[in-house]
Amino acid sequence: MIPFRDNIPSRSFPFVTVALILINAAAFLYELSLGHALEAFIFQYGVVPADVFSWPESDASVTAVAVPFLTSIFLHGGWLHLIGNMWYLWIFGDNVEDRLGHINYVMFYLLCGLGAGIVHTMLNSSATIPSVGASGAIAGVLGAYLVSYPFARVLTLVPLFIFIQVIEIPAFIVLAAWFFIQFINGAGALAVAGPADTGGVAWWAHIGGFVIGMLLIGLFPRRGRQPEYSRS
């Protein structure tokens, strides 16, 4: 399923969501400018679980191990990776920003991203592949949206065998389906490869971020009134 938009109008301009999209895009353009130095850059600023777990015996500083948990949130592995993440952030982020307010939304987003990185690292302790991407933080936004607006309706492209339908679906179905896909793939990756060998998509960063977002949203006060649902 590919979501297009929801039916909750933003009550204020989503400054933080737009800023995050621009920062991620700028970071990716910088990555493209690095040429042959890109690989070293990704290994330095992406999260490498094996490096985290070998840190006590290595010569790396605490900063060198800790900083990638933050910087990796703003890096991406390709155009599709970037566009897919920013698409979901644009659709669902504005309403979570409405719910939290601009400053709290920044804190919430970063905490979800950091938590997602920690979950990925814990379940892939020997992985030597750098993990990058905003997926964990955005998964947290999706989890918060599910808790806050479960009955919002999302215009969604749904493939049905050889047909493609664009229909409105309750948000809880769209997001539950998204989470189910992440969980099945994450469980499969661990079962097949084991924690020492998993790579590619950081499924458990998605799962961890989503659950963290669901739990964390309740710790922030709701800003303003309840949203009005558009019927269009």
Domains plus CATH for the chain? 2-6+14-219 (1.20.1540.10)
Predicted local distance difference test score (pLDDT) of residue 157: 87
Mean pLDDT of 212-219: 95
* Closest among 76, 68, 54 to 138, alpha carbons compared: 76
- Per-residue confidence at 61, pLDDT binned at 50, 70, 90? confident
* Residue 197: predicted pLDDT: 46
Phi and psi torsions of 75, nearest 5°: -110, 155
Look-up: residue for tokens 């006590």?
Answer: 56
Model pLDDT for residues 64-77, shown as the tens digit of each residue: 889 999 999 999 99
Return phi, psi of residue 170, to 5°. Answer: -55, 140
Q: What band does 225 get if pLDDT is binned at 50, 70 and 90?
A: low
Instruction: Read off the pLDDT of each residue in 185-193 and give the average, rounded to a whole number.
Output: 75
pLDDT at 187: 84
Greater confidence (162 vs 165) lies with 165
**What does the pLDDT look like over 105-151, one tens digit per residue?**
999 999 999 999 999 999 988 888 999 999 999 999 999 999 999 99
In this predicted structure, the answer to whether residue 232 has a pLDDT above a threshold of 70 is no
Average pLDDT of the segment spanning 15-28:
97
Residue 195's pLDDT is what? 46
**How high is the mean pLDDT of the chain?**
89
pTM (2 decimals)? 0.90
Q: In the prediction, which pLDDT does 221 show? A: 83
CB 47 within 8 A of CB 131: yes
Does the pLDDT at position 153 exceed 60? yes
- DSSP 8-state assignment for residue 139: H
* Mean of pLDDT values over 167-189: 91
pLDDT(219) > 70: yes
- So what's the pLDDT on residue 210? 97
Q: How confident is the model at residue 193 (pLDDT cuts 50, 70, 90)?
A: low
**51 neighbors 58 (Cβ within 8 angstroms):** yes
- Residue 16 CA to residue 13 CA, distance in Å, equals 9
Q: What is the pLDDT of residue 38?
A: 96
* Distance between CA atoms of residues 120 and 146, nearest Å: 22
